[in-house]
């Protein structure tokens, strides 16, 4: 059974959303909406460091990786944006060189947008299950920079941050066992993540039903009921969407971890992992607890993973 050996995260400096109002081209009315209705206050942002440096800041905290670099067979970059840098620049290969993983198969996973992180965990589990070496590991890198203006704001939904996460995965183990997974990609009328206004309207219309259905599929795949879930760790797009969905999901709001929404913004595919580590540090997750990691990508892909801590 796939195991998350260790999860580490990095938060860049926090800046207020208000200080970014002009850069994001938000009117006073829009800013108040993002702050009051969406629950956004600060976002994580780093003007100085490169994307590779932000990813390495998370990797450097993986104590379980030290001395085991030779066991890493797969280095997976779970990416939201298709083209984060001009060729031949590659944060993935910069990190690969920095860690000394020239022996590892390195590739990026995209087209699932912000659901790519959870999809990468599932893919890592399948690769490791087929690997002839039972001690092989996979390292997943999640989170990215929001340099282009269109990547810094989700119109009518949220604002993006630049937090990152590194996840070390094994085929089996006692730490953070993956019990269930579900992923669905639904057609919105657009061929890719660059959605038209009509596609975004369809995406918003299907959003709640698709999230609830995907959660139900993941919980069922784990052989559990929704009441067995101790804490839901969502993507941090905004607060109001999760408040409205709590009853549909079947969990009290107290079991949906929203503490990071006002502190990080939506850090692409890294959100569930940022929330996992924060909740664990706060004692909100105890050994034996079942956690539900959920993320949604424009396009539209919905993913949910059940993990037993």
pLDDT tens for each residue of 217-251:
999 999 999 999 999 999 999 999 999 999 999 99
CA 77 – CA 144 distance, rounded (Å): 10
Packing angle, helices 271-281 and 116-130, rounded to 10:
90
Residue 2: the pLDDT is: 95
Residue 201: the pLDDT is: 81
Is the pLDDT reported for residue 129 higher than 70? yes
Of the ranges 98-107, 145-154, 190-199, 254-263, which one carries the lowest mean pLDDT score? Answer: 190-199
Residue 110: the pLDDT is: 87
Average confidence score pLDDT of the chain:
93
Instruction: List CB contacts of 264: < 8 A, sequence separation 6 or more.
Output: 11, 14, 42, 43, 44, 161, 163, 236, 271, 274
Domains in the chain and their CATH numbers?
A: 3-170 (3.40.47.10), 177-308 (3.40.47.10)
Residue 157: the pLDDT is: 86
pTM of the model: 0.95
Is the pLDDT reported for residue 197 higher than 90? no
Of all residues in the chain, the percent with pLDDT exceeding 90 is 82
**Spatial contact of 62 and 6, defined as CB atoms under 8 Å apart:** yes
Count CB-CB contacts under 10 A for residue 28. 8
Of the ranges 4-18, 81-95, 128-142, which one carries the lowest mean pLDDT score? Answer: 81-95
Q: Which of 174, 250, 247, 184 is nearest to 217 (CA)?
A: 184
Is the pLDDT reported for residue 183 higher than 90? yes
CA distances from 261 to 35, 55, 179, 239, 302 (A): 11, 21, 26, 7, 19
Radius of gyration, alpha carbons of the chain = 18
Rounded average pLDDT over 12-20:
94
pLDDT tens for each residue of 72-106:
999 999 999 887 777 788 999 999 999 999 999 99
Residue 190: the pLDDT is: 66
**Spatial contact of 212 and 245, defined as CB atoms under 8 Å apart:** yes
């Amino acid at each position: 059974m796939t195991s998350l050996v260790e999860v580490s995260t990095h938060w860049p400096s926090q800046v207020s959303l208000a200080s970014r109002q002009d850069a994001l081209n938000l009117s006073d009315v829009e800013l108040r909406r993002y702050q009051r209705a969406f629950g956004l206050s600060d976002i994580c942002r780093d003007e100085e460091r490169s994307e590779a440096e932000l990813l390495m800041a998370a990797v450097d905290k993986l104590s379980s990786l030290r001395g085991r670099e030779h066991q890493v067979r797969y280095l997976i970059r779970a990416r939201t944006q298709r083209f984060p840098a001009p060729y031949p620049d590659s944060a993935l290969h910069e990190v690969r060189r920095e860690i000394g993983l020239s022996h590892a198969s390195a590739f990026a996973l995209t087209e699932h947008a912000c659901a790519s992180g959870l999809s990468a965990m599932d893919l890592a589990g399948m690769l490791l299950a087929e690997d002839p070496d039972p001690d092989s590991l996979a390292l997943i890198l999640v989170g990215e920079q929001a340099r282009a203006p269109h990547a810094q704001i989700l119109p009518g939904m949220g604002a993006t941050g630049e937090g990152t996460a590194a996840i070390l995965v094994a085929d089996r183990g006692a730490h953070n066992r993956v019990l269930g997974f579900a992923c669905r990609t639904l057609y919105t009328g657009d061929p890719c993540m660059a959605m038209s206004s009509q596609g975004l309207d369809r995406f918003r219309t299907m959003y709640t039903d698709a999230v609830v259905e995907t959660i139900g599929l993941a919980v069922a795949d784990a052989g559990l009921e929704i009441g067995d879930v101790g804490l839901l760790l969502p993507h941090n797009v905004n607060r109001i969407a999760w408040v409205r969905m709590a009853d549909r999901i079947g969990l009290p709001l107290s079991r949906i971890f929203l503490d990071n929404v006002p502190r990080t913004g939506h850090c692409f595919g890294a959100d569930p992992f940022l929330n996992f580590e924060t909740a664990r540090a706060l004692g909100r997750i105890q050994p034996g607890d079942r956690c539900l990691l959920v993320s949604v990508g424009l396009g539209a892909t919905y993913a949910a993973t059940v993990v037993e801590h």
